[in-house]
Homo-oligomer: A and B are copies of this chain.
Amino acid sequence: MNAETQIKKGRKYDQVIAGARAVFMREGFEGASVDEIARDAGVSKATLYSYFPDKQHLFMEVLKQECVAQSEVDVLFQQPGLSVEEKLCVICKNLITFFLSDFGQEVFRVCVAEATRFPELGQSFYESGPKNLAEKIADFLRSDKAQAVLDIDDAYLAADQLAQLCRSDLLLKVLFGVQTNPSEAEIDRIVDEAVKTFLARYRRVARAAGQSG
């Protein structure tokens, strides 16, 4: 009776998922047809339906996997020998690179579109993506190394502000198809300005050892 039991079986499973991912990302849930998925997957419809009870379960399975993949994205990479400021820049750049990637864009778009139809999907996307990322950044901000340079009260809030400053105009532009691949220079500028604003607020003031509200 557990939810998983209905899904999965033999050896063409991955192939089906791959085709489904491609079509769902391209067309959304309503726009995708099962015939197209089967064709794209190089698999017969009967096979597809031997793996998944229906279109919805297939859709959910695809996006569950995308969420897992997304949660494994690491914006922090353990790069030794970087100052906190440099590290902040690296974090920002990785974050931007991620949401500019085809993967990031497609998953984001589909999840926004179908969050109403599949409520648990929106939740799990949010948690494996933005929330997960913000928490990783917050952990870094709480580290001794960071705290030596930064004076932060609410690390999660600060992490979120940094992430938001990175996303900037770009996330919206990309989401609405206004600009699809910004130049490296443009990205560097945004990163630079984001970190500048972040440090203006959170850089520890030289003198006083205590924290100011």
Contacts and interface: CB of A to CB of B under 8 A. Distances in A.
Interface stretch (A40-48, A85-93, A141-149, A166-174): A166-174
Contacts of A164: 164-165, 167-169
SS of A interface (majority) = helix
A209 interface: no
A119 B165 CA distance: 26
Copies of this protein in the complex? 2
Interface string A24-45: 0010101100000000000000
A116 interface: yes
Interface residues on A, range: 35 or more
Given A134-B169, A157-B193, A167-B164, A176 B115 contact: yes
Contacts of A123: 176-178
A97 interface: no
Contacts of A117: 31
Nearest 7 A-B pairs (CB), nearest first? A113-B113, A122-B176, A30-B30, A200-B201, A126-B176, A122-B177, A197-B201
